[in-house]
Amino acid sequence: MLMSGLVLGVFAMLYGTGRRVRPVIAPHERLSEHDPAAEPSPLFNLASFAAFTIGFGLTAYLVTRNTAWPMAAQIGVAGVVGALAMTLQSVLIARWAIPGARAEQMDERFLLQGTIGRLTRPIPAHGIGELRYALDQREYLLPTRSLDGTAVADGTDVVIERVEQGVAYVELWDSVEQRL
């Protein structure tokens, strides 16, 4: 039980506890990264379940090794400690993590920064072309300008630097790749 709690805790730490929700609007039209529909339940989520299993498993191990209590008492004590750990984890999520995510204000210009796309319409010098990019298994089209105002050919791979007023400012992927 303890090991399963540790594995669940690490999984929750790496992949988060938010629900996966497909955006209704294009990512470049969102105002922030926070999506209220993706908020986890403070009580019923992977991190809280991991806290319960760790508290229950650790307490059950210690109680069975160090006491001669009947099994029902051992399970009862382990259950109470597991419930307490789950409650503390739930309070942490409800009072700190969720309000912190709600309060975070990201600059919407940089929500797509680093996204790779391909030009579907060339960018003339100091003009506007069109970019196709994929995100969450969906494709989007976006008006595009080059960062330095130079012309860019159709079919060129580019990287989004920022999106301002619905127009993506891009840099050639080859230039970005050389810096990496």
What's the CA gap between 60 and 16, in Å, rounded? 27
Q: What is the CATH number of the domain that holds 172?
A: 2.40.50.140
pTM tops 0.75: no
The DSSP line for 158-180 is EEEEEEETTEEEEEEHHHHHHH-
97 pLDDT band, cuts 50/70/90, is confident
- The verdict on 80 and 101 lying in the same domain is yes
Query: Could you report the per-residue pLDDT of 21-33, keeping only the tens digit for each?
Result: 455 556 655 555 5
- The verdict on 49 and 77 lying in the same domain is yes
Cβ proximity of 63 and 1 under 8 Å: no
Counting the structural domains of the chain, the total is 2
| Sequence-distant (≥ 6) Cβ neighbours of residue 18 within 8 angstroms | 35, 38, 39, 40
Average pLDDT over residues 92-113: 77
Query: Could you report the per-residue pLDDT of 70-93, keeping only the tens digit for each?
Result: 999 999 999 999 999 999 999 988
Last residue of a domain, one of 106, 129, 145: 106
What's the CA gap between 120 and 57, in Å, rounded? 56
**Separation in Å, CA 45 to CA 19, 78, 84, 148:** 9, 20, 15, 46
Read off the tokens for 90: 């739930």
Structural domain boundaries, residue 118: 109-179
